[in-house]
Structure 1
Amino acid sequence: MPRAEAGSIKHLSNQMKSKGLQRLRWYCQPCNKQCRDANGFKCHVQSESHVRQMQLVGEDPKKFIQGFSSDFQRDFIALLRTAHGEKWIGANKFYNEYIRDKEHIHMNATRWSSLTEFVKYLGREGICNVKEDEKDGLMIAWRDTSVEAVRRRQEIAEQEAKEARNEAGEDKMLKRMAQRARMEAEAKVKTLEAKQVQEKSSEGIPVQQEPGEEAKADGEEPKPKAAPVKVSFGLKAKATPAVKTGLGQMKSQSIFKRQRENGEEKPKKKVKL
């Protein structure tokens, strides 16, 4: 049966029936023809045009496979650049966007057997940025390899490196300033202490030395360290002993004892036998 002429009612009907994606198993990539069922695909395979096309493919199959692979990669990268740019997107999700076009190059005609292998190839060649995510699996993003983009990335990297060096230099300078300030403060303290010692020595005031240190004069032996003096800060006055009477004080007498007269002797105590 001859093919319907372009613009005829039969041609339009066939176009409406074949709208959208059909089964991949009934698609002929060398002839670029999509069949609706197994019977149509069988008739197409037995047609004279398909036989002539397959004879051409059989003469140099590597040439056709390389051409389909380059076309597939070109269309894939072009859609990724225009649709998403340098944003990350799941490889499976983007592939579903790519195959919406009915006339796209099918992957079974290329040298890649799966989408994962193709995405890994793009990552190895540096054509796209590829990473693996735990949730979305393989992620893909377009990589701008133009001269302007490369120069812009180099400028950004140099600017970041310069900022990092400036921050490191500022940290070193702050540490150096803190160390210098600490040394100056210690020097001032030592100078002030030496000045105070000199003033006390000129006024004749003995200089208080730290415990464990002794003043050593030239040619003199060190003096033994004096015993420490205990100082009591209690409020209770210390009582004087009753035996020893202080100066200007009288011995206390009991008011219940009878005062003896002159010449009266003290009665002797009786001893029981």
Structure 2
Amino acid sequence: MPKAEIGSTKHLANQMKSKGLQRLRWWCEPCQKQCRDANGFKCHVQSESHVRQMAVVGENATKYISNYSNDFQRDFVSLLRTAHGEKWIGANKFYNEYIRDKEHVHMNSTRFSSLTEFTKHLGRSGIVNVKEDEKDGLMIAWRDTSVAATKRREEIREQELAEARSGAGEDRMLKKMSKRAQEEADGKARILEARRAAQAQTQAPKGSVSPLAEEKTSTPSPDKALESPTEEKKADATTSDEAPKEEPAPVKFSFGLKAKVPPSTKAGLGQMKSQSIFKRARAEGEDKPKKKVKL
């Protein structure tokens, strides 16, 4: 059956039918032809043009397969670098992005039998980073091997190491500072306790005995328990003699010029009437005058 002319209704119908992605197994790379089903691909394989093209390829098949493989790998890595850079993406998901272009080099014309084998080849070659994820399966990310990128990675790694070292030094410094502050706090606490003990001793009366001394005196040793009671009495007498006597309270003197004037009210109990300062003083041996009593 002759090929439909360009612009005819048959050609437009074929273009509309071939719109979108088709089966990879029905693609002929030497002829650059996509078939829609198995019957169409069988007819194409038996056609004269396909047989003639396969005869040309069969003269040096290794060269053609190598060229197709290199083209496929170059386009695949180029799209990965420009579209995603060094970000991780699923291998299967990115392959679907790659085959959106109908003019791409198909995998069935290369030496790679599957996408998994091709991904492992890229990982072994050091072109991309490959890891396996439980959810997305194989993940790939482009590896930038340029001199500038290598230098930038080294600088970033050195910076991270320096930050880690500085962080460790800061941790050690903080530990030392906390230890020093704890020691200073303990020293201040001991000083305060000593001052409080000294103040308690000064404020206590002289005849009193500290609690420690009371405990010592209240618990006599076994050697002293065997001593006679007369010796205990002697010890009590000596301690009573040696105890310091309490000093009398100091007398307060008042140097006020104004004399205390009793209140003008009636003389109460224990109060005396004011005496005149113009009375004559008695001579020595003079008797006290007798009071006249009115009858």
Partner of 1:40: 40
Listed one character per residue, the Cα deviations across residues 132-184 of structure 1 (whole Å, up to 9, x for unaligned) are 11112111222233333322222211111110111122223334455666788
| Aligned-partner residue type, residue 46 of structure 1 | Q
Partner of 1:142: 142
Which structure shows the higher helix fraction?
2
Shift of 1:28: 0.9
Partner of 1:168: 168
CA contact (8 A) 2:90 2:137 kept: yes
Greater mean alpha carbon deviation, residues 169-178 or residues 68-77: 169-178
Greater mean alpha carbon deviation, residues 7-16 or residues 103-112: 7-16
| Aligned-partner residue type, residue 44 of structure 1 | H
Partner of 1:197: none
Q: Distance in 2 between matches of 1:70 and 1:133?
A: 28
Q: Distance in 2 between matches of 1:179 and 1:119?
A: 56
| Aligned-partner residue type, residue 61 of structure 2 | P
**Are 1:55 and 2:63 matched, yes or no?**
no
Q: Which has the larger radius of gyration?
A: 2
| Aligned-partner residue type, residue 138 of structure 1 | L
**Are 1:30 and 2:30 matched, yes or no?**
yes
What is the correspondence of 1:1-273 to structure 2 with a 5 Å cutoff? 1-5=1-5, 7-9=6-8, 10-177=10-177, 228-229=219-220
Shift of 1:43: 2.9
Amino-acid identity (%): 74
Please give the root-mean-square deviation of Cα atoms over the aligned residues, in Å.
3.9
Q: Distance in 2 between matches of 1:167 and 1:37?
A: 66
SS at match of 1:85: coil
| Aligned-partner residue type, residue 138 of structure 2 | L
Partner of 2:283: none
| Aligned-partner residue type, residue 81 of structure 1 | R
CA contact (8 A) 2:86 2:142 kept: yes
Q: Distance in 1 between matches of 2:133 and 2:71?
A: 28
Q: Distance in 2 between matches of 1:130 and 1:153?
A: 19
| Aligned-partner residue type, residue 130 of structure 2 | V
Shift of 1:20: 1.7
TM-score, with length taken from structure 2: 0.57
Q: Distance in 2 between matches of 1:38 and 1:58?
A: 23
SS at match of 1:139: strand
CA contact (8 A) 2:25 2:108 kept: no
| Aligned-partner residue type, residue 108 of structure 1 | N
Shift of 1:34: 0.8
Residues 32 and 189 (structure 1), Cα distance of their counterparts in 2 relative to 1, 3 Å cut:
same
Residues 188 and 42 (structure 1), Cα distance of their counterparts in 2 relative to 1, 3 Å cut:
closer
Q: Distance in 2 between matches of 1:111 and 1:120?
A: 13
Q: Distance in 2 between matches of 1:38 and 1:187?
A: 94
| Aligned-partner residue type, residue 24 of structure 1 | L
SS at match of 2:56: helix
Residues 184 and 24 (structure 1), Cα distance of their counterparts in 2 relative to 1, 3 Å cut:
closer
Shift of 1:102: 2.1
| Aligned-partner residue type, residue 3 of structure 1 | K
| Aligned-partner residue type, residue 27 of structure 2 | Y
Shift of 1:36: 2.4
Q: Distance in 2 between matches of 1:72 and 1:157?
A: 34
Residues 189 and 17 (structure 1), Cα distance of their counterparts in 2 relative to 1, 3 Å cut:
closer
Q: How many residues were matched structurally?
A: 214
SS at match of 2:166: helix
TM-score, with length taken from structure 1: 0.61
Listed one character per residue, the Cα deviations across residues 198-245 of structure 1 (whole Å, up to 9, x for unaligned) are xxxxxxxxxxxxxxxxxxxxxxxxxxx999449xxxxxxxxxxxxxxx
| Aligned-partner residue type, residue 163 of structure 1 | E
